[in-house]
């Protein structure tokens, strides 16, 4: 038996008090009369309620609520009510304290927030599919009181900070959920610091090797960066001081997650990323001078360094939908290096770091109304529930977390839509009836089709016709949840009307053949044609998809129709997903790839082409057995966060005799004999079989793709190392299945 560590209760008591005092000091700036007593009361109730509980790390459970309350006070800037609720956020769920006790001891507002937090604690339940209903509850509580979500984000951030003590599969699940939902939610609420930390921690647990490598590279280049920043800042500082501006200048590296994103999306190496850090100039100036002073600073910076004309972002004149305001430009700094410069005021900086919680401090009506607009959009999506849980979630993410574009009506009113929105999305955004009757649009006075993708600054006039009705292919033209929902509603209604006609046709046919028009006979017929519902049967009859001549093959016995070849056998029901999960997991809860597994069919997923040695997991599909995905597969975060219950841990056995197909992308300077040198290394030195090779050269550079059969990741790494040494080759990367 494992020996239990000796617990020093006295030392723990001291530590709890120390953490409680640190919490009080973080609350100082918002404390009013009587607040300290309320926080003390909440702390004592939480301490008593959790006294016999410990976290997975072995620490007293009370450390967690104190830490969550501390994040709320210090990092989000919330007040006493939120601190009280954060201290009590697990009490109702985990202990005998009830909501009525909270209401009696603190008040209605606190009880309501804690009720919201208790409801959403089960949003991601391990044992069932993604509980969209619970997720909807979470969003509805957001539209009641945004503090529920802010406390939930603080709770999730602390869980991410203490993920070390969890098992690997739990780490993967929690980190994936965080990247999939919580980080975008923090971003949408303008909590930049929390979003960045969540993303970095998410990467640390989903792709530890990648995280550690980038972290190490940032450490190695730190001194060089500091020198460069002070060299860059020097001349600007002088002029800003001369102009009498109060300011501070910071140079900070980009987050590890965003660096990794650039490496992936732009297919570049760490060394090729030119904007590894950003210079931030924060000026202290009264609200009426903010815009003018930001542009003054811009002018000073660009007097010294040449700006890149296509890299200017003005979020001072039109803030982002999450309230973010700043002026961004990329300039050519010393030593021929591009540098991103962000210019903002103290107020803008606080809003960028602390988001909407800070808006209350400034009571800026424009920003308040933006939050109201966002909450109104959430209500709208929740009111037209999507049957398909995944579609609902994807629509939600796309519409509420996506970056926006700004477009204008003919009268000059500004509308915000997600990037990728089309002319048809715009029509539905104006009004459902305008969308349903839309036949096209004029963008900047030129005629465009419904599927035209809008760009920021476009001015639109929608063209309509009374004869127009929504079509099935419209669903491929729109990205907003509102437009999708309205088109689906209209199509359902149209389908229902057509099905009514089909019902009448069938009723007449039954009448003619002297068959009773009963529910059981209709269902029997639907089963014969392998259809799920009677409405589908009626619809297909109406559009001529089903030939009713088949009815002659039926006779009626005691009021029931029977096929002349005997009664209709219903298809054997396929094993349920739960049965598949149980059979795949077996007793060991670990899928060993390469062993002779009975009755379990698995395939290597084409979206990420895993090979032996990759960190992988099995995903149980409904029709294709188990699919093996790499942990860093483009679809992994979505699968792990939404369908954790269908994920099976997996590891490789020795795969010496098996070859896996892997893709390599090679680029560099075109030289004579280069392709010959590359193929020699692949075929002769490492005895690797090639399936295909394609090279394309353009003005002295080349890019090629080679598909090869390898045994495992070591084999592939060795091959890539050798290819990098070939003269002229500058870059060698492994392809994902979707590259």
438-486 residue pLDDT tens: 988 888 888 888 889 988 878 889 988 888 888 888 888 888 888 888 8
Higher-pLDDT residue of 377, 154: 154
Q: Are 158 and 198 in contact (CB under 8 A)?
A: no
Secondary structure of residue 454 in the 3-state scheme? coil
For the stretch 343-402, pLDDT in tens is 999 988 888 777 655 554 444 434 445 556 666 666 666 555 555 555 555 556 555 556
Q: Is the pLDDT of residue 81 over 60?
A: yes
pLDDT of residue 698: 77
Which CATH fold would you assign to the domain 9-206? Hypothetical protein af1432 (1.10.3210)
- Model confidence pTM above 0.85: no
Pick the residue with more confidence: 126 or 23?
23
Average pLDDT, the chain: 78
CATH architecture of the domain 660-734 equals 2-Layer Sandwich (3.30)
Q: What is the pLDDT of residues 632-669, one digit of tens each?
A: 787 777 777 777 767 777 766 655 446 677 888 888 88
- What is the residue extent of each domain of the chain? 9-206, 215-362, 369-483, 489-560, 577-652, 660-734
**Torsional sign, CA 678, 679, 681, 682:** positive
Q: Which CATH architecture has domain 369-483?
A: Roll (3.10)
pLDDT at 584 (0 to 100): 47
Is residue 21 classed as helix, strand or coil in its secondary structure?
helix
Length of the chain: 739
**Between vectors from CA 316 to CA 313 and to CA 319, what angle results, nearest 5°?**
90
pLDDT for the residue numbered 597: 44
The answer to whether residue 115 is catalytic is: no
Catalytic residue among 44, 48, 93, 472: 93
Q: Which pLDDT band holds residue 125 (cuts at 50, 70, 90)?
A: very low
Residue 93 designated active-site: yes
What is the SS3 assignment for 41-80?
HHHHHHHHHCCCCECCCCCECCHHHHHHHHHHHHHCCCCH
Please determine, for residue 191, whether its predicted confidence score (pLDDT) is greater than 70: yes
Q: Higher-confidence residue: 623 or 317?
A: 317
| pLDDT tens per residue, range 509-529 | 777 777 777 787 788 777 777
Cβ–Cβ < 8 Å for 139, 188: no
Confidence of residue 131 (pLDDT cuts 50, 70, 90): very low
Among 12, 94, 275, 404, the active-site one is 94
Look up the CATH superfamily of 215-362: Beta Polymerase, domain 2 (3.30.460.10)
The pLDDT score that the predictor gives to residue 587 is 41
Q: Which two tokens stand for residue 294?
A: 């930001």
Q: How confident is the model at residue 634, as a pLDDT?
A: 77
Whether the predicted pLDDT of 673 surpasses 90: no
pLDDT band at 129 (very low <50, low <70, confident <90, very high): very low
**What is the pLDDT, as a whole number, of residue 692?**
79
Question: pLDDT-derived band of residue 78, with 50, 70 and 90 as boundaries?
Answer: confident
């Amino acid at each position: 038996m494992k020996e239990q560590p000796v617990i020093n209760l006295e030392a723990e008591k001291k530590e709890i008090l120390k953490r409680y005092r640190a919490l009080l000091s973080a609350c100082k700036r918002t404390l009013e009369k009587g607040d300290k007593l309320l926080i003390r009361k909440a702390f004592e109730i939480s301490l008593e309620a959790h006294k016999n509980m410990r976290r997975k790390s072995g620490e007293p459970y009370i450390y967690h609520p104190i830490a969550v309350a501390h994040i709320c006070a210090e990092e989000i800037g919330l007040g006493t009510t939120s601190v009280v609720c954060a201290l009590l956020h697990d009490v109702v769920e985990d202990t005998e304290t009830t909501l009525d006790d909270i209401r009696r001891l603190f008040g209605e507002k606190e009880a309501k927030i804690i009720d919201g937090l208790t409801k959403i604690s089960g949003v991601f339940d391990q044992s069932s599919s993604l509980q969209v209903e619970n997720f909807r509850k979470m969003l509805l509580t957001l539209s009641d009181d945004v503090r529920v979500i802010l406390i939930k984000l603080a709770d999730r951030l602390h869980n991410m900070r203490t993920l070390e003590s969890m098992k690997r599969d739990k780490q993967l699940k929690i980190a994936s959920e965080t990247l999939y939902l919580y980080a975008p939610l923090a971003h949408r609420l303008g909590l930049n610091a929390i979003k960045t930390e969540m993303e970095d921690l998410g990467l640390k647990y989903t792709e530890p090797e990648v995280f550690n490598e980038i972290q190490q590279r940032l450490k190695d280049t730190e001194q060089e960066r500091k020198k460069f920043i002070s060299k860059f800042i020097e001349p600007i500082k002088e002029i800003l001081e001369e102009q009498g501006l109060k300011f501070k200048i910071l140079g900070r590296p980009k987050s590890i997650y965003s660096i990794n994103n650039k490496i992936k999306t732009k297919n570049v190496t760490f060394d090729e990323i030119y904007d590894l850090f950003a210079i931030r100039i924060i000026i202290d100036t009264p609200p009426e001078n903010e815009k003018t002073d930001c542009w003054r600073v811009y002018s000073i910076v660009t007097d010294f360094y040449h700006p890149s004309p296509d890299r200017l972002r003005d979020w001072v004149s039109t803030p982002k939908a999450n309230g973010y305001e700043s002026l961004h430009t990329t300039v050519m700094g010393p030593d021929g290096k591009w540098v991103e410069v962000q210019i903002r005021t103290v107020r803008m900086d606080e809003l960028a770091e602390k988001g909407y919680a800070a808006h209350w401090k400034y009571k800026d009506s424009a920003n308040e109304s933006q939050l109201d607009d966002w909450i109104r959009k959430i209500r709208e999506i929740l009111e037209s529930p999507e049957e398909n849980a995944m579609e609902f979630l994807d629509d939600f993410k796309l519409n509420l977390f996506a970056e926006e574009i700004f477009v204008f009506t003919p009268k000059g009113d500004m509308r915000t839509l997600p990037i990728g929105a089309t002319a048809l999305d715009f029509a539905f955004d104006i009004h459902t009836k305008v969308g349903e009757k839309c036949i096209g649009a004029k963008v900047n006075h030129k005629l465009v089709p419904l599927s035209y993708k809008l760009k920021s600054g476009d001015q639109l006039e929608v063209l309509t016709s009374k004869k127009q009705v929504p079509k099935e292919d419209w669903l491929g033209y729109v990205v907003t949840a509102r437009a999708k929902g309205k088109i689906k509603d209209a199509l359902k209604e149209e389908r229902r009307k057509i099905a009514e006609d089909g019902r009448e046709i069938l009723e007449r046919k039954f009448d003619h053949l002297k068959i009773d028009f009963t529910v059981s006979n209709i269902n029997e017929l639907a089963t014969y044609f392998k259809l799920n519902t009677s409405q589908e049967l009626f619809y297909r009859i109406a559009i001529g998809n089903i030939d009713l001549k088949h009815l002659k093959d039926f006779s009626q016995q005691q009021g029931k129709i029977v096929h002349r070849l005997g009664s209709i056998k219903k298809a054997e029901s396929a094993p349920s997903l739960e049965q598949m999960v149980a059979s795949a997991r077996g007793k060991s809860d670990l899928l060993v790839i390469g062993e002779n597994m009975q009755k379990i069919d698995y395939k290597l997923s084409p979206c990420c082409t895993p090979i032996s040695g990759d960190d992988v997991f099995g995903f149980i599909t409904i029709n294709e057995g188990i699919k093996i995905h790499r942990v860093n597969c483009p679809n992994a975060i979505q699968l792990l966060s939404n369908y954790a219950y269908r994920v099976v841990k997996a590891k490789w056995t020795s795969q010496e005799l098996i070859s896996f197909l892997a893709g390599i992308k090679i680029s560099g300077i075109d030289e004579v004999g280069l392709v010959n040198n590359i193929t020699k290394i692949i075929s002769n030195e490492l005895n690797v079989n090639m399936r295909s090779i394609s090279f394309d050269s353009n003005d002295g550079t080349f890019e090629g793709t080679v598909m090869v059969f390898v045994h495992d990741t070591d084999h592939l790494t060795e091959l890539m190392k050798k290819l990098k040494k070939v003269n002229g080759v500058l870059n060698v990367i492994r392809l994902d299945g979707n590259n």
